[in-house]
Amino acid sequence: MGTELLAPLDLAFWHLESDAHPMHLGALAVFSPPSGPDRGAGPQDVLELLGTRAAAIPRLRMRVRDVLLPVGGAAWFVDKDFDVHRHIQRVRLSDEESRGGDTGFMAGATRLAGELMERPLERGLPPWQMFVIGGTDGGPFAVLVKLHHALADGMRAVAIGAGIFDEIASVSGRARNGAPVRRVRAVPPRSWMPGPRQVAGLALGRIEGLGRALGVGASMVRASRLDLRGAPALVAPSSGTRRLATADLDLDAVQRIRRAAGGTTNDVLLAVVAGALRRWMRERGETLPADDPRALVPVSRRRPGQAAATGNRLSAYLLELPVSEPDPWERLRIVRALMDRNKAAGPLRGAGAVAVLADQLPSLAHRFGAPIAGNAARMLFDLLVTSVPLPRSALSLGGCPLRAVYPMAPLARGQSLAIALAPYGGRVQVGLVADGKALPDLDRLAGCVGDEVAEWVALLPGP
């Protein structure tokens, strides 16, 4: 893998970062010790296994360097001094957490993950880290994965991170040994000198892209809010601290709600988030905001059968979460209507499609304009809510079964909360990332997510 320029959106994420606003994605993967006589890998074994498998993933050997052209641009280069041991380390729980069973383990793992998510990745190295979090040998352990958003969007991060698992690593090993494996269609090589038809096509695409970007820019201006009247916790100034919380939902219960009310699984999950926010605000004694909080809902621009493009391929929708609506079925109806309207317009239009605008800006604009754009995010949305697709098959690491994966999204400037959801193993795992000072009661919000589904299930008609 040679030199590769950062795409405009990747460059935007690279320059949006500051010490108080790290721009990395994360995932907390929780593993159970295997049952039976084979006790599987211990923490040190897992550390060595992670190192071997991560070093075999070419993308994880790349680092970012500035380039002369285009002015203000940057590119991915292979790190000739790459040392996987600089990226992977073991972190131990406290003795009290280690002795606290599953409850103590999860409390300790999320506490440590929050502390680790606060720290920006070192920019002179390939921008990723992995941490093995555990206590005693033979007990459960977790792996926290951090990938810079310039390296990958959610779907690409899943594809990169999957290389650490036994099942995917074994397939990769067979591929290297010559066994046939299913491959993603690759982009055919092209001459660096475009022909007349290619020049015309590029020019037409550029004109269409600029026109689309102008439309998105106009939509952003119309959607921007100068009077920020959201929930007090969601509009608190950023402190640079991070707090994590997790929740687990029964996927079958979510599907029962979807079948009863219609729409998509994602519609149900968005309505669950809206209901959980309402429940949490009322428990805090807050007056519900005059304007419903607005969520940025990322949308992948990757399509099945397309070439496996690196970097980010994202757009997004804006969605007013109907927190002010007391009836859960009406909340879901509102979410469905708003998402149907977004889908009818398409992911390349509307104020949420900020990525489309970013793709049309020159490198120099990202280098100097990213902090300004980051500060303006609060005028468009209050929180991020994203769904991350995971492999449906059971996964393991060193023979230890994967029990759950809690995805973690980054916080933009001025944002206090990001919620990510991922289905795996018959459950929907929910990862909540918050500013630690703005939302000290994040665990209660995580509890409200589960309470919301439980109340909904109680309202469902009998089988």
Which tens digit of pLDDT belongs to each residue from 239-257? 889 999 999 999 999 999 9
Q: Flag whether pLDDT at 380 surpasses 50.
A: yes
Q: Would you say the C-alpha torsion 260, 263, 266, 268 has a positive or negative sign?
A: negative
Q: Flag whether pLDDT at 268 surpasses 90.
A: yes
Query: Taking the CA atoms of the chain, what radius of gyration do you get in angstroms?
Result: 22
Q: Of the spans 152-166, 348-362, 400-414, which averages the highest pLDDT?
A: 400-414
Q: For residue 153, what pLDDT is reported?
A: 75
Q: What are the residues whose beta carbons fall under 8 Å from the beta carbon of 33, sequence distance 6 or more?
A: 39, 40, 138, 139, 140, 400
Q: For residue 186, what pLDDT is reported?
A: 37
Q: For residue 63, what pLDDT is reported?
A: 95
Q: Flag whether pLDDT at 180 surpasses 60.
A: no
Please compute the mean of the pLDDT values over residues 131-158 and round it to a whole number: 84
Q: For residue 4, what pLDDT is reported?
A: 84
Confidence of residue 135 (pLDDT cuts 50, 70, 90): low
φ, ψ of residue 339 to 5 degrees: the values are -70, -35
Q: For residue 404, what pLDDT is reported?
A: 95
Q: Flag whether pLDDT at 461 surpasses 60.
A: yes
Q: Which one is predicted more confidently, 31 or 220?
A: 31
* Single-letter amino acid, residue 227: D
Please compute the mean of the pLDDT values over residues 301-310 and round it to a whole number: 54
Query: What dihedral angle (degrees, nearest 10) is formed by the CA atoms of 241, 246, 251, 254?
Result: -70
- Name the strands in the sheet holding 314-320, side by side, starting at the edge strand that comes first in the sequence: 242-250, 427-435, 417-424, 383-387, 294-300, 314-320
Percent of the chain with pLDDT over 90: 43
Q: Of the spans 40-54, 312-326, 417-431, which averages the highest pLDDT?
A: 417-431
Q: For residue 37, what pLDDT is reported?
A: 55
Q: For residue 231, what pLDDT is reported?
A: 63
Q: For residue 207, what pLDDT is reported?
A: 41
φ, ψ of residue 249 to 5 degrees: the values are -115, 145
Structure tokens at 173: 């090993």
Q: For residue 351, what pLDDT is reported?
A: 56
Confidence of residue 225 (pLDDT cuts 50, 70, 90): low
Q: Which one is predicted more confidently, 331 or 228?
A: 331
Look at 218-222, 280-284, 350-354 and tell me which has the smallest mean pLDDT. Answer: 218-222
Average pLDDT, the chain: 80
Distances (CA, A) of 257 to 51, 276, 449: 42, 16, 15
> Model confidence over 35-90: pLDDT tens digits?
655 555 677 788 999 999 999 999 999 999 998 888 888 999 999 999 999 999 99
Q: Flag whether pLDDT at 177 surpasses 50.
A: no
Confidence of residue 426 (pLDDT cuts 50, 70, 90): very high
Q: For residue 190, what pLDDT is reported?
A: 38
Q: Flag whether pLDDT at 111 surpasses 90.
A: yes
Percent of the chain with pLDDT over 70: 73
Q: Flag whether pLDDT at 161 surpasses 60.
A: yes
Confidence of residue 117 (pLDDT cuts 50, 70, 90): very high
Confidence of residue 1 (pLDDT cuts 50, 70, 90): low
Q: Flag whether pLDDT at 171 surpasses 70.
A: no
Q: Which one is predicted more confidently, 372 or 181?
A: 372
Q: Measure the CA–CA gap between 244 and 241, rounded to whole angstroms.
A: 10
Q: For residue 182, what pLDDT is reported?
A: 39
Q: Flag whether pLDDT at 189 surpasses 50.
A: no
CA atoms within 13 A on the CB side of 46: 33
Q: For residue 253, what pLDDT is reported?
A: 95
Please compute the mean of the pLDDT values over residues 97-112 and round it to a whole number: 87
Q: For residue 188, what pLDDT is reported?
A: 41
